[in-house]
Each structure stands twice: as structure tokens, then as C-alpha cells.
Amino acid sequence: MEQDNKLKFSLNIALVSGIFCITVALLLLLNFMQMAKNKPLESKALTSLVKRLSQEPNSDELKVEIRNFDLLARKAYFNSQWQVKTGGYLLLFGAIVFALSLRVFIGLKAKIGEPDVKDENDLTGRIMTQRWVMITGSVLIVLGLGASFASVDHLQKYDVNESLAEAKPADDQDKVEVIKVGENPQIVQPATTDSTKNGIPANATKTDTSKVAPVTAVKITIPGINAIKANVPGFRGPFGNGVYFQKNTPVEWDAVSGKNVIWKTPVPKKGYNSPVIWGNKVFLSGADNQSREVYCFDRSSGKILWKQLVDKIQGSPATPPKVTEDTGFAAPSLTTDGNRVYAMFADGDIICFDMDGNRVWARNLGLPDNHYGHASSLIMWKDKVFIQYDTNKSRKLMALNATTGETTWETVRKGKISWASPILADINGKYQVVLSTDPMVAGYDPETGKELWSVDCMSGEVGPSPASSGGMVFAVNEYAKLVGIDPSKNAKVWESDEFLAEVASPVAANGFLFVATSYGVLACYDAKSGEKYWSKEEGPGYYSSPVIADNKVYTFDTSGKMRVFDLGKEAKIIGEGNAGEKVTTTPAFVDNRMYLRTPKFLYCIGKK
């Protein structure tokens, strides 16, 4: 290309990219001003409808109108967020093209050489015009980028402080701090399969045991199925499925009057984890900006048997991560096998105590890159503790040796960040670890970490955990789908988009599937076909997951109201209760009693 043609080409590119940048910048500014003015999530019309509902609480038409209006408002908000984010990237790209083409143009023009200036005033005027055009365009671009930044959800842009990780040597990433020291460490290696090499799965990372202090070889008893069903080893009970194998569970209580409240005990620190129970001991954790703690309560009296501080863990960040108010620092529920109890926190610390509160081991798994806070609960199977560690920067399922805390295996996963928790699903007589995230629900071999199946069916920020019953797996997320999956066929059996949960996990048993939404609807489906049996709107919404015990479905809405439904094809309420304060955790059941954590107390509920 000749010099003159190159000059014209670069000038045209600069002009087109400049006009493009100014156009996108103006659109971003208009979008920002419209969002700032209208605020779709704070609609006056929606507020007015809600006020009308307080006057007409039995108006089904009004409830439907509010739900539809709210859905449209949310869609408008997220669509606007997507437009702003896309516009920001386009503006940045256009600005780069403009700068490069302008630089090329100026360089080429300098090489050609300018003729003698005929009129100094004309030259000065032309230079001033060019400068004002450049200044005006630059100001518009800067304002557009500023509007883009101001409009985007800052939580999505939150970057975890990496300075701590940079200051920490790489060799310390997998170190385990061991409190009890002995001669013979007990190390469990995965079984050799076709997908393994030298006993380690191809997609797993072996821990460098030379950097791990030895642990006293302690013979532990791996609990059987009956022991697991008789206790509450983790979030949502046995196998993490929300189904309890208890009888004569309570259906009426009231925290204000004390009706059927056997005892209540203040919980020292805040946390959103649910009660974990083994034998006569109830376990919770709590945390704030200053410290993290693990509690053990006497199940019969509510007395705190021991309280242990979680500190002095190698690799633990010096300052706590940023978390939102509704997640906090102690969202993950603990897990136990009856020998020891395991707890995890938002800073990536995981710790193990024996049943008497003696510290066994502790380690840091790396600061989770999570813009709300880490919330996935722990779950155990045989001699392993499983952690769903799906963050913004890396996605993986980890299996730790329960005795030593070492990484037995870890499987790197595709997908995005998730707040769901793993469950154990009985598929064709063998238990699998099942996880849900965007975009897939997948099952893994608990011995090796090998992925056994995966179905793409989820989207968005996945909060609800999956559920399993009758050889099927069920998953749901708001703005995605409710799906029934047959893992043996690696395929969806059915799907629905009528009622979708945002936080609460589904539960299934005896051919029924229940879903509780954040806008207050509990829906019942045929688990095999997806046919909807009924839906009932009660209360402001559900964050607490519905659970099934003694052929009864227990629900707690966010206001603290409990409703117990019959496990059947009709919406029949057979019991009610009231916590008197907000409830977001999930109840647990043992020996005819229900245990519930509220923001202030741990309750034991049953017939006195």
C-alpha cells in the first residue's frame, strides 16, 4: 500500500473508531442516567402492589400480578447490567483501536513532510479545532467508561486481595498444621483405576507428604448406613438430601409462648450454618471480623460442652475476606463421622476437632475468590471430607483424608462459581458425590474423583444444592430450570420453568419432589415425570430448605413461620410453628425432636 493510501486508511479507521466510541459512550451515559432515575428493583408500582396485598391478603390475582411484575423488573435489571458490561468492553476495544490508528496516522504524516505554511492563523485554528475534538471525544469516552463502572454490580467486579497469596510461598499451599504428633502417619491413597497413574487420578493433584507433619495413627470407626441415618452428619441431614429417617417428629411449637420449646441456648457468634448432630452432641460454628469459633452443645440440655477458637493456621489470611451480610464468615455447615467434627470458614480455613474439642489438624485451602462469601457446606463419606470449591478463579472438588487433613485427590471442573453444597446420591447401589453449578450437574466417584456423568442444564449464580431420590437427581436455580436427571443415561428426563428456587434446595422422597421459592411458593411435583401436583403461596419467601421427616414436609419462611405439609398430592397443612425471628437455616431431626438455629438461639423443639 502506498504511503498516501496508508495515510487515508489509518485516518478513516481513526474516524470510524472515534465515532463508534463516542456513540457507545453516549449510550452508556443514557443507560446510566435511566437506571439511576428509574431503579427497576425499587419500583414504586411494585411497592404499591405490595401495600395493596397487605389489605387484600387473599387475592390470588394480585399475588400473580406482583410475581409477574417482580420477574419483569428483575429481567429488566439484569438485561441492563448485561448491556452496560458489553458496552464497557466495546468502548474499551474501540478506544484501543482509535489510539492505535491515530498513532499510525500521526507517524505516517510526520514522514511525508508538511509544505510551507501559508497562513499561520489557519494553521492555529485547525490545530485548536483538532484539540477540542480530541478533548471532547476523550471526555465522552472517560464518562462512558465511568458510567459503565458505576452501573455494573460491584460484587461481580470484586477481586480478592492477592497480596496475601503472593506473600505466601508456593510450597506452603498444601501444608497441614498438625497438633497431635506421632511416629506413623496414616495416609490414604486412592484406589488404582483405568483413569489413574501410580494410584493417583489423572486429573488429581497429589499432596507432597514430605511437607506434612506426621499424625498419630488413630483407629477410627467408619459409620455404617444405619448410623448415618440415625444422626445428622451434615447439612440437610443424612447424605445431604434433606430426608430424615425419624418418627413422631413435632408439628407445633411457638418460641414466644414457649410451647413445645424444650430448651433454647444463645449462640455466641453469628453464622448461617445449620445444626449437625451425632449422639448427644450438636455442632455449630460462628464468626465475625475478629474471630472464628466452633461450638459443641449438649443435645439434652442445650449447655455448651466446649467452645474452640479457630486460629494459628498456617497460610490463613491476616485479614478476613469481604463477604455480604446474608452470607457472612460462617455459612458452611459442619460435618462429622462420630469420631471427629470438621468446620470450614469464608477465609478458606478448614479445621478438625475430636468429639471432646481437642484440635486434631487444620489447614488453609487458599482464599476463596467469592464475591458473596464461601457458602458450600462440607460432607463426609467413609474416610474422606468433600469440599465443593467452585470459585471465580478455579473450580474443583476436593477430597481430604479425614484423619490427616491431606488432599487425597482433587478434580478440576469446568463451569463457574457456585454456592451449592455437595450431596451423596445412591445411583444403582453405589454412592456418588453430586454437585450443581453453572452450567452443569455432575456426579463423581468418591474414591478417585473421576467424573461419572455430567448434564448441562443450569445457569446463573447457583445457590440451591441438588437432591436425589429413586435413582434420579434433581436440580434447580432461578432464571434457569427445574430438572429431573437420570444419571445412568446421562440425560435430562424432564424440565420445568414455572417455579424456580433462588436459595432453598429441593427435596424428594416417595415419588414426590418439593421446591420452595424466594417469593413464597412451595410447589409439589411428581419426581419421575415432572407433573405438577400443587403449588401454595405462603409467607414472604423461603431461604431455609424444605426437608422431609416422618412423611411430613417441613418449611420455614424468612419471617420464621413454620408450616408442615402432608407428603401427598394435595396441599394440606398439618402443623404450624413460629420462631419469632428470621429463619434462613435448615432444621435437623433426632429422636422425636427438632433442632433449629436462628440468628440468636439454638432451639430444641418437641413434646415436653
pLDDT digits (tens, 9 = 90+) for 62-91: 766 776 666 666 666 666 767 777 877 888
Q: How confident is the model at residue 196 (pLDDT cuts 50, 70, 90)?
A: very low
Q: Is residue 213 scored above 70 in pLDDT?
A: no
Residue 214: how many other CB atoms lie within 10 Å: 16
Residue 148: the pLDDT is 57
What pTM value is reported for the model?
Answer: 0.70
Q: Is residue 143 scored above 50 in pLDDT?
A: yes
Residue 44: the pLDDT is 67
pLDDT digits (tens, 9 = 90+) for 440-472: 999 999 999 999 999 999 999 999 999 999 999
Residue 21: the pLDDT is 82
Q: Which residue has the higher pLDDT, 478 or 133?
A: 478
Q: Which residues lie below 8 Å from residue 535, measured CB to CB, with a gap of 6+?
A: 498, 499, 521, 522, 523, 524, 571
Residue 368, φ and ψ in degrees, nearest 5: -65, 130
Instruction: Compute the average pLDDT of residues 497-515.
Output: 97
Instruction: Compute the average pLDDT of residues 320-324.
Output: 91
The region of weakest confidence among 201-210, 402-411, 525-534 is: 201-210
pLDDT digits (tens, 9 = 90+) for 5-24: 877 787 888 788 888 888 88
Q: Which amino acid does the sequence have at 464?
A: P
Residue 187: the pLDDT is 29
CB 539 within 8 A of CB 565: no
Percent of the chain at pLDDT > 70 equals 75
Q: Is residue 216 scored above 80 in pLDDT?
A: no
- Residue ranges per structural domain of the chain: 3-151, 165-605
Q: Measure the CA–CA gap between 464 and 354, rounded to whole angstroms.
A: 30
Q: Which residue has the higher pLDDT, 51 or 241?
A: 241
The region of weakest confidence among 33-47, 59-73, 150-164, 434-448 is: 150-164
Residue 546: the pLDDT is 98
Which residue stretches of 455-571 are H helix?
Answer: none
Q: Is residue 137 scored above 90 in pLDDT?
A: no
Kindly give the interhelix angle for 60-112 and 44-55, rounded to the nearest 10 degrees. 170
Q: Which residue has the higher pLDDT, 55 or 473?
A: 473
Q: How far is CA 314 from CA 240, 352, 361, 398, 598, in A?
A: 30, 14, 11, 19, 32
Residue 561: the pLDDT is 98
Residue 426: the pLDDT is 97
Q: How confident is the model at residue 320 (pLDDT cuts 50, 70, 90)?
A: confident
Instruction: Compute the average pLDDT of residues 379-384.
Output: 96
The region of weakest confidence among 125-134, 251-260, 370-379 is: 125-134
- Sign, CA dihedral 175-178-183-187, equals negative
Domain spanning 165-605: CATH superfamily: YVTN repeat-like/Quinoprotein amine dehydrogenase (2.130.10.10)
Q: How confident is the model at residue 43 (pLDDT cuts 50, 70, 90)?
A: low
pLDDT digits (tens, 9 = 90+) for 554-593: 999 999 999 999 999 999 999 999 999 999 999 999 999 9
CB 176 within 8 A of CB 385: no
Instruction: Compute the average pLDDT of residues 473-488.
Output: 97
CB 557 within 8 A of CB 536: no
Q: How confident is the model at residue 166 (pLDDT cuts 50, 70, 90)?
A: very low
Percent of the chain at pLDDT > 90 equals 62
Which residues are registered as beta bridge partners of 566? Answer: 552
Q: Is residue 189 scored above 70 in pLDDT?
A: no
